Structure 1
């Protein structure tokens, strides 16, 4: 597995994001994709040790097309300058929380959780946190969790969400607009040998599992 090759390809693509260059260098893309598929296969196997539902999944079930949908975007560059693998036992489009590996030069990360929930589901998860606040605090304030995932949610409300008392002492835990968590990492983290890399990735994701389990309990009830 040569993830350094993938990262270098993505750097070249970012500097030459046009169809002419991509067509001329299609063989480089195919090699980068093959290397990323090897990584994704190892990732699935690693996650399956603590999330058995993903065992047997194929890279094609977890990865995404390199081509951007530019129909409604002001940015008309045709290709994504990153590669990602989302390992989720319910599939990439499920609200169920999964585990995401993102390779992008200078912006590599490991993420867990879920985004773009329906309004009703987001309210249900907030209610679950409200009803089980001690359990939730024990998860997200655990020092090992905070080490890798210092913030919950990419965006936050400025005030209390509708239906919750803004004077509640733990109201800040209900302000995220999504319940995803990110662990930002240097590019070099992903260029270790496969065994070392998977050991480290597995640990970081396993730290996220109690958070995923907490939210998935409510999500799964919502989707039944």
Structure 2
């Protein structure tokens, strides 16, 4: 069994230039350590002399015990336990027996990744979900804890996720040829949070994510988070002012294509009814936090497509349980969802890139 790795860092005293007491340092370096131990009264004990506490073992007893050991060949259970404890102590000494430089100390053991139980062929394992679940604990979501677990636990989880994304990308390209086959490193998001303008200063995300599209990272979004919170999403999330204005112009002039996609039975089965939820919950493309409360500027509030025109984000999402994520057929399940999403993504791409029928710019002064 490989010995656990130790994490060593310099103490604050070493970093501040602190020097230990001269007398204690001298005592450790003293030549007196090489002298023979002295007897009582300050005199040296002659070489070969035995201590008063040492008792000679009679030859008869010694020979008898040696004969008994040769005949029986087995030690008592108590001796076996003592021997096992001694071996454990020796192993512990070997683990901690490292050369520390001045001002260094052992601050913890680097946790080793499990040797078994990892996913294969692009499958997510329980180990990855367990690691992400730990990051929900504030005491774990900090740099000191993460440093001890990053090598090799996090790196092993990251490797597994890259293998999954590679399999997912291959499936995605086969379903939608408009999406380019990019390597996992180009579509996977970093686990480090951007805390520059956030009140929440926890440094790490609690999930792993990646996104794909015909232009790079915008389009279909996959996010894996323990606690039955993994999702696959697609659409235009918080588009820019010009993009949003173009989408609304298309809806004003020809909303039929988008309406037909949202009303498709398979689409409804995966993402909900094509209308706002009575309680304001997310349903289809409706219910996002950035949805307008009133009609956009210049649009009649009684317009027949006012529900779509109020949307600032046109995106849908579907949630998966941990059991589904861990199943061997998860990629195939995602494949069926991607097939349903493809017409929706293509429709939004065309709305953003193609001119409005009739050449009219529509209402270009709408609020975003």
TM-score for the superposition, normalised by structure 1: 0.90
Q: Give the CA deviation at 1:191.
A: 0.5
2:3 aligned residue: none
Q: 1:69 aligns with which of 194, 198, 207?
A: 194
Q: Deviations over 1:145-175 (max 9, x none)?
A: 1221222052321111223221112211221
Q: Give the CA deviation at 1:55.
A: 4.3
Runs (5+) with no aligned partner, structure 1: none
Query: For 1:182, what is the secondary structure of its paired residue?
Result: strand
Q: Moved runs in structure 1, 4+ residues, more than 6 A?
A: none
RMSD: 1.6
Contact kept in structure 2, 1:50 and 1:206, CA below 8 Å: yes
Q: Give the CA deviation at 1:181.
A: 0.9
Q: Does 1:22 align with 2:155?
A: no
By percentage of residues, which structure has more helix? Answer: 1
Aligned counterparts of 1:85 and 1:47: Cα–Cα separation in 2: 13
1:100 aligned residue: 221
Q: 1:213 aligns with which of 346, 350, 366?
A: 346
Q: Which has the higher contact order (CA 8 A, sep 6+)?
A: 1
Contact kept in structure 2, 1:112 and 1:205, CA below 8 Å: no
Written as runs of structure 1 = structure 2, the 5 A alignment for 1:15-164 is 15=137, 16-26=140-150, 27-92=152-217, 98-106=219-227, 107-150=229-272, 151-153=284-286, 154-155=288-289, 156-164=291-299
Runs (5+) with no aligned partner, structure 2: 1-118, 273-283, 356-368
Aligned counterparts of 1:52 and 1:136: Cα–Cα separation in 2: 21
- State the number of aligned residues: 216
Aligned counterparts of 1:169 and 1:133: Cα–Cα separation in 2: 10
2:116 aligned residue: none
TM-score for the superposition, normalised by structure 2: 0.56
Between 1:76-85 and 1:99-108, the stretch displaced more is 99-108
